[in-house]
């Protein structure tokens, strides 16, 4: 994780780093899998339908699949996909261990925390109207987003509630942004009609654990 950048926001770290063990070829393979799943799903909507609404509905469909222990059909069957989940878990473990002055978790507790479930979903946004409104992930401890495909002038991720305190990060394909799940965030408007594709993941648990 040599190219990791640590941003501090309200005295809590937000990490931004490339997933170095994942090649761009592998990432492109997953993009193609997801596109196949997404186009099947997308075909039910008119061409000019609001992409934010489609994305919200796509999320709901993915959560329904998750309840049955399933993922998107094409992506879920990809043999390399478990590697990504392994990388996420490792990153979260490092994230919790690397801030002893903030969270002070002993190694045994970190081991316990990272045994919890990690779940994920795909987000696809584009111009016009592609945004993701301010929210937090209240059922989780650590959240992350892995950028699979990022056209120029795609929406940035913005942390913060009001305008006085904010952190805006530009997404980059192949990078992860990792943050405490209680932090409110949003995706600012996409200005490119090409697809901005990301994979969001959550380590389940009490969101307030990292706020104490
Ligand atoms: Fe989010």
How far does the centroid of ligand 1 lie from the alpha carbon of residue 180, in Å?
A: 11
Question: How many angstroms is it from 136 CA to the middle of ligand 1?
Answer: 6
Per-residue pLDDT, 104: 82
Q: What is the pLDDT of residue 1?
A: 53
Q: Give the predicted TM-score (pTM) of the model.
A: 0.94
Q: How far is the CA of 133 from the centre of ligand 1 (A)?
A: 9
Give the CA distances from residue 52 to residues 56, 106, 159, 162, in Å, rounded to whole numbers and listed in that order: 6, 41, 19, 22
Q: What helix, strand, coil percent values describe the chain, rounded to 5?
A: 30, 25, 40
Distances (CA, A) of 43 to 35, 47, 64, 195: 12, 8, 19, 15
Question: Domain spans of the chain?
Answer: 5-210
pLDDT number for residue 2: 66
% of the chain with per-residue pLDDT over 70: 98
- Residue 161 has a pLDDT of 80
Q: What are phi and psi of 41, to 5 degrees?
A: -70, -45
Residue 195 DSSP class: P
Identify the pLDDT of residue 92.
Answer: 96
Residues (pLDDT < 70) of the chain are: 1-2, 100
Note the CATH architecture for domain 5-210.
Sandwich (2.60)
How far apart are the CA of 204 and the centre of ligand 1, in A? 13
From the CB of residue 164, how many other CB atoms can be counted at a distance below 10 Å? 6
Distance from residue 58's CA to the centre of ligand 1 (Å)? 14
10-68 pLDDT, tens digit each: 889 999 999 988 999 999 999 999 999 999 888 989 988 999 999 999 999 999 999 99
User: How close is the Cα of 123 to the center of ligand 1, in Å?
Assistant: 10
CB 148 within 8 A of CB 179: no
CA of 185 to the centre of ligand 1 (A): 6
């Amino acid at each position: 994780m040599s190219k990791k950048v640590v941003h501090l926001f309200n005295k809590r770290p937000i990490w931004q780093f490339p997933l170095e063990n994942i090649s761009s070829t592998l990432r492109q393979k997953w993009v193609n899998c997801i596109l196949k799943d997404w186009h099947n799903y997308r075909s039910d909507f008119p061409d000019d339908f609001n992409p934010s609404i489609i994305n919200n509905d796509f999320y709901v469909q993915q959560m329904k699949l998750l309840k049955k222990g399933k993922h998107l059909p094409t992506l879920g069957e990809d043999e390399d996909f478990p590697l990504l989940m392994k990388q996420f878990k490792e990153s979260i473990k490092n994230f919790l261990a690397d801030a002893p002055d903030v969270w002070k978790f002993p190694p045994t507790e970190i081991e316990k925390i990272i045994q919890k479930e990690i779940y994920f979903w795909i987000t696809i946004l584009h111009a016009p109207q592609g945004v993701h409104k301010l929210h937090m992930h209240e059922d989780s401890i650590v959240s992350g987003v892995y950028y699979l495909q990022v056209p120029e002038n795609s929406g940035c991720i913005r942390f913060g509630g009001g305008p006085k305190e904010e952190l805006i990060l530009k997404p980059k394909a192949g990078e992860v942004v990792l943050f405490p799940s209680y932090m409110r965030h949003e995706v600012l408007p996409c200005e490119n009609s090409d697809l901005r594709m990301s994979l969001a993941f959550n380590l389940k648990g009490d969101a307030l654990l990292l706020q104490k």
